[in-house]
Structure formats: C-alpha cells, structure tokens
Structure 1
C-alpha cells in the first residue's frame, strides 16, 4: 500500500498504480495526457477540451461544479483528481467517502510544479513529470530576463456583469508577476467584484480581458475603451494564465510575445 498526501493535507492510499483515473479538472486532464496516461484515464469533465482527441473519446462525468455521481460510480475509478477551487467541496467530500480522491490547491508556479510531480509519482510517471517541471522552471527563468525592470501596472478581468478581477492570492496573479506586470488589485483576495470607476482610480495602464471563464470579445474592448480612454485594453488567452500543468509549457512562448508587445506599447 502506498500513501500520498494531497495539497489540502488529506492522505489517500493506493494499493497499486491507478488503472482507472477520472479527472475533474481541465488543466490536470491535459497534464495526464502529457504524462502518457491514455489508457488509464477513463473519465473527464465536459470542460476538459484539451487534448481534443480525449474530449471526443473519453466518458464525460459532468462539469467541474456538477459532477454526475452515477456515471463516476459506473466507471469505478481507483483514483479521482480534483481541485480545491474548481470543484465543489461537498461533492468532493461525497466522492472521498467512496473513492481515493487527490485534491490539488495551486496558487503559484511552485505549487503547480509540486502538483505535477505528485501526480507523476502516483501514476508511475516520475521521469516525464520531472522533465516537464524542469523545462517549465527553465523557461520561466529565461522569461524573467525579458521582463521590464519597472513593473507595468495592469488589470485582469475574468467576468462581466459584474466585472470581476483577480486578487494577489491567485495563480493568475502569479503568472502576471512572472511577466513583469503589477496587478493593480493584488491587495485584494481571490476574485473580487470591481467597477469601471475602480479601474479608473487605480494606476492601471493596461487592462487584460480574458478569454475565459467569460469569453470577452472585441466589442467589450470597444465598450470599455469609451469609459477608459487612457487605458490600453487587450484580449488575452485565459488558458495561458490559468491552466496550471503542461499548458505552462505553451504559456512561456505566449508570455514572451505578450511581454514584448505590452512593453513596446507602454514605451510610447
């Protein structure tokens, strides 16, 4: 019997390497694909869009907030991967009474890499997980050499009606910091509601509109630009900022281009 303590402090036991895995977290689903666990993964959520081949082939067990217990029980998993923030506490507690449920709690790159290594250890994919985290750490280290010496004050919107942003205790904030951006709402917690007036009264020079969870479009830039004429407003790929796991590899090149673009804009 092997014991593993998750990122919330709970310990689970696995008699053998898991052969029937369910992932309730999109970014961790993509990680499982990177770890070459194609045969082992039997269930994913309807939001697990990467990789596309799994999205069409794997059994869907509901959404991240409304898992289907009957489908999960039919799949009879020996390991379920969940996340403290993305999944509903009561649903995870119910599943924990029947199955081994390992819960991640990712707030920064360090805890993201720890998550990757622990999942690699549980699934017998230590070598791939180690290579992945080393590449991520190296890539972000090289990115750091490109960021401006003076942090650019930015805002980051994840929702509309009401407008919602990200606080300083989020993974997105950590990614903004890695790019050399100063989150103007970093003093707040989690995902606070704000107003256009709050943005106007901040030191925000650049406002990022994320592609998820709210799908901001050009029309939203046009609307906000009328109220914030002195702020540069730009659409960004929300997956790059919020998907911890193997997507962080793609995020490095994306951030490099974004940093160069924003630095050029702000230098004029």
Structure 2
C-alpha cells in the first residue's frame, strides 16, 4: 500500500487526475472505475482541465461506476448518472456508449447485477477510484457480518442515508436501496486509488488502513490488495 499526504486539496486532486491521465496516455483503451459523492468532484475538474488542454483523451476509454441508487426517476438530479454527466462526461470526449452505470430502474435488478458483473469480467478495471464512508463503506458495501463479492442490491444503513440526505430535500427522499459493485469486484481492479478528505474521516482512515481486516469495516479489505494508492489531505491523515 502506497500512501501520500497532501497539504492542500488542490494538490491531491491534481495528483489523482494526473494518475488517470498517465494511465490513459499509456493505454488509451484503459478501463476506469469511477465514483461519485463530494470527494471526486475536484479530481474530475482537473481531468476536464487536462482534456481541454489536450493532455489526455477519453475517446477509447471505458468507464464503470461503482453504484447507483435504486428507484430514483430517470435523470433525477441526485442520481449518479446525472452526477457523472454534470461533473465529467458532458465535458470530455468519452463516447456515451462506453460509460456504464448500474441501472437502478431495471425491471429485474438481480439480472442487472449479473450483467454488470459480466461486463466487468470482460473489461477488467485498470484503475478504480474509491472514496471512504464514515462507517468504512466503499461503494455502497455497508458494514456487515459478511459481504457479497459481486455486484448486488444493498439495503442502505440509516447513517449512510443521513449522510447523503444533504443532497436531497429531506431524509424521506433518500432511497433505501442501491446497486453496488461488491468488494470482490472492486478488489479485481489492477490498481485501486483510495481518496479521503477531511478531519471527520481521520478515525475511519486509521481503522481502515491500520486496523484489523473485517467485514465490519469493508474498506479494511483493501489491505489485502497488492496495488492500493491512498491519497489523503493532512486532516484525513492526521491520526496515522
């Protein structure tokens, strides 16, 4: 596990964006695993900036997102498909058919999960971007006595829904289910890029990176992966 601490968020975002650009410049048809939430926004802004300056192209790339809410109306502004268009896809040259997200409105959600896993098997992820939830979740893999390896439907913990309620008008509007890549799917990526920002994440960072490996802290399973790069601002890394 390689760990880097940054004095500023901007420096962290720039480093992460450069890593993605370097991957694509070396392998234009690379498969990128992408995430949503507040953590990646600055990274995506830097990637867009690099694209506009001609430093990287996404036209041969393929992307897979970690997760999507179940049951939100199509094009809902808090859906992750909308998020990705707003923060990245609408601003780069990635063909829309090469961008994949789980379909939270599929008629058969279990079949959707199986299809997503088949695509991930056919096009393994070269670099997977992850954030870290306050309870140690990665993707929407919540703490539990056991975890599912493949893409699956998950019941969201109340603390996760409360944390995401800031994006909705009320807690009642936050979906109770999501489709997420499983931890097993995530761990199949060649390189995992874990990005964590903020003093409020310092305790869970310490637990995930230095504590026991347990399904009660899904991110701790990253300790078993051979190629994890952890990018932290100085606040998130203050307990290490």
What TM-score, normalized to structure 2?
A: 0.27
Structure of larger gyration radius:
1
